[in-house]
Amino acid sequence: MNGFVRNLFFFTLQLRSGLVLALLLSGALAHAQIYQGTTGDIPDDECPDLTPFTAEVPLTGEIGDEHELYYVQLNIDHTWSGDLDIYLTSPSGTSLELTTDNGFGANYYNTRFQDGELPITSGMSPFEGKFQAEGGSIAAAFEGEPVNGTWKLEICDDVRTDKGTVVDWSLGFIPPMRNDVCQRATELLCGTTVSASNELLTIVDSPPACFEEVGQGAWYTFQGNGEIGVLTTDNPGTDFDTRISVYVSPDGCEGDFTCVLSDDDGGTGNTSFLHGITQSGVTYYVYVGGADGATGNYELTYTCHPIPEAVCQSFDLILGPLGEGTVYPSDIDDGSTPGYEAIDLATSGQATFYCDDVEVPQSVRLVVTDALGYMDSCDADVTVAIGDTLLPGWTGLNVGFTPGGSTFAYNPCTSDNPERGEFTITTTAFNQPDLTEDNYAYITRTLCGRTGLQVEVESIDPSSNIGLMIRASNDPSDVYASFTTNLTSIFRWQERFVFEGDRNVLFYGDFPGDSERVFMRLWRKPNNNVVRGALRFGNSPFAPIHAVELDLPECVEIGMALFSANDQVTAGGVVSNLRFIGEEPEDTDGGHSEVLALSQETLDAWDAEWERARAAQMPMPQQVVEGTLGGAFRAYPNPVQGLLQAQLEVPLPASAQLELVNAFGQLVRQQQLGAGQVHAELNLEGLAKGMYWLKLGDHLQRISVQ
């Protein structure tokens, strides 16, 4: 038998499908084949000829294609190794210089010529170990030649006196599975994991250094696909320090390599981790070696990941009650796709908007970033609109019977101060003076101690009353005081002194019903539970309306109330410029926290203004006897073109004449109204533009005809 088996190394390729192909070059499935050569004395004849020592190799096929000459190993006893010239010649006649005239001593002892090792010229007798042949690569020297036939170890002794003998020599062939040559690079597919070792690989085909020291390593290749390519190494159970270099070459393995990526310890410990966006159709070459020439086992994994893609959708942003709103990434994300592992969504640029941005085209940029930092972005169209959420702390609810329900909305964008915007209320709550329970739509909050509030009445629908209310609770039969208007010359004060007691209703008149601005104020003095109400028209001072002492608890319900004076009509009204003061209900620490919409000094000023008005005996609104209310009305629209509407405060107790006179006192329109009537229309078409007066009984309202 000419040869024997020796275990060399193993190589495992694990495909993404889970199929494992084990190419074991260190086990029974694949064998290194070693062939021993002949031995004998070396002639001491000053080298007239080379003396051949032969080895028969029965393998078939070619070097590099089916077999690879991995090493030449020899043992020579010789008194002076520097006299020897040693060559290896193939069956095809190609000779490779192994060593010539090297050494200052005796013998070659277990000397192995193997690619990737130190040059033999750097060694010393007896050259024990591995060395690079003096003539170059033993793998490349015989590339493409038939392996079958007689291989010769040819030796001569070029100086007489010293003598020696070839004790043994051998050739080691392995299957051409080693990928230490670029042309035999292992192809990597997305999802591939390769288990390998570089212990038997050479640096015969090492690339340009991305590092100072490349070391012996293995070649791999993959095709770019336009995605993120990630290369990682793992060194299970060892401290082998891997290094990865990635190259491109316009002419493949024969061309000039350019290093595009490299990594030493980018992973955990001594492992490597690198990534980049690959170009579709470009071939990439990967070289895996060890730091500072280290060798060991490793696992190389190649994965592909799509580049993050940002996908946007338009979004309608509804401003909050304080007049601002923020667009969050999830609002405008329409299924953005991740890249490597998880993605992070963020907005770039302006993402918070305010009242000035309402109905102005806006856009928000969505930025999608994966775990490696790759990102994409898109712009989402954003429409900013006003919402209807009430200010924090305020709640809209129904008190008593509201058959069709109520609506509550807040617009922060009607004022420079978003907390002074407009409250809009609608309700079907019908509340006439003779009812024994209260029916209201109520925007309220619980406040304690000395408390009060003030609003401006912006508008009121026909048959509607809007104003302020303070209650012991939201039970429709509980103690309360309210102060409401329908923007006619009549204001209504209502109060209940005991739970489920009768309600007292007072009407106050002689107000300028056509005033441009109306302000209402309601507050209490907690030391004696006196509730006060006051009015202001335009820029005039606040005029006291009414005061009443009620048995109210420490914490009360206070807010803005609306009701309808007609059970067939839905009421509606708008108030703005809310200002209030009070303390929140008792907190967990047993105390109250002050609400800082107004200061307690403001309430002191309200009380002082009330007292000054009383002391100065300024003209006060006059209480109107309920039975004389017939004829109190509100006319709208004003100014008017065409039809003029007249809404009465209460049904007429008896028939009456509705008259329109011009500035000269001339009657220009009239209409007879019957007892119980609450609404009338006058057609003013054909009238000249100017100022007129609408009269019903003792009640007047100025009308502007356009």
Structural domain range at position 693: 628-705
* Position 700 in a domain: yes
Largest CA distance in the chain: 157
Query: Could you tell me what percentage of the chain is helix, strand and coil, using 3-state DSSP and rounding each to the nearest 5?
Result: 5, 50, 45
Name the domain count of the chain: 5
- Judge if 378 and 471 occupy the same domain: no
**Token pair of 704 as six digits:** 């502007």
Give the C-alpha separation, 588 to 572, whole Å. 39
Residues 6+ apart with CB under 8 A from 61: 67, 146, 147, 148
User: What pLDDT is stored for residue 454 in this prediction?
Assistant: 94
* Position 19 in a domain: no
- Judge if 604 and 648 occupy the same domain: no
User: What pLDDT is stored for residue 294 in this prediction?
Assistant: 79
User: What pLDDT is stored for residue 638 in this prediction?
Assistant: 79
- Judge if 425 and 301 occupy the same domain: no
Q: ∠325-329-330 over CA atoms, to 5°?
A: 100
- Judge if 44 and 163 occupy the same domain: yes
User: What pLDDT is stored for residue 594 in this prediction?
Assistant: 52
- Judge if 610 and 470 occupy the same domain: yes
- Judge if 490 and 608 occupy the same domain: yes
> Which residue, 604, 622, 640, sits at the end of a domain?
622
- Judge if 196 and 65 occupy the same domain: no
* Position 20 in a domain: no
> Which residue, 279, 305, 331, sits at the end of a domain?
305
CATH of the domain at 455: 2.60.120.200
Q: Which residue has the tokens 């420079």?
A: 416
* Position 5 in a domain: no
CATH of the domain at 75: 2.60.120.260
* Position 671 in a domain: yes
* Position 12 in a domain: no
User: What pLDDT is stored for residue 161 in this prediction?
Assistant: 85
Give the C-alpha separation, 670 to 662, whole Å. 12
* Position 24 in a domain: no
Which residues, given as ranges, of the chain have pLDDT below 50? Answer: 1-31, 513, 588, 592, 624-630
456-505 per-position pLDDT tens digit: 999 988 878 899 999 999 999 999 999 998 887 678 888 999 998 888 88
Give the C-alpha separation, 118 to 130, whole Å. 7
Q: ∠143-145-150 over CA atoms, to 5°?
A: 125
> Which residue, 386, 417, 437, sits at the end of a domain?
386
Residues in the chain: 706
User: What pLDDT is stored for residue 629 in this prediction?
Assistant: 44
- Judge if 501 and 605 occupy the same domain: yes
CATH of the domain at 339: 2.60.40
CATH of the domain at 661: 2.60.40.3080
Residue at 365: amino acid letter: R
CATH of the domain at 274: 2.60.120.380
- Judge if 323 and 345 occupy the same domain: yes
Give the C-alpha separation, 355 to 324, whole Å. 7
- Judge if 522 and 493 occupy the same domain: yes
User: What pLDDT is stored for residue 177 in this prediction?
Assistant: 55
Residues 6+ apart with CB under 8 A from 172: 6, 32, 33, 34, 69, 70, 71, 72, 73
User: What pLDDT is stored for residue 181 in this prediction?
Assistant: 78
* Position 597 in a domain: yes
- Judge if 222 and 333 occupy the same domain: no
- Judge if 231 and 160 occupy the same domain: no
180-236 per-position pLDDT tens digit: 778 878 899 999 998 877 776 666 566 776 766 667 788 899 999 999 999 999 877
User: What pLDDT is stored for residue 347 in this prediction?
Assistant: 81
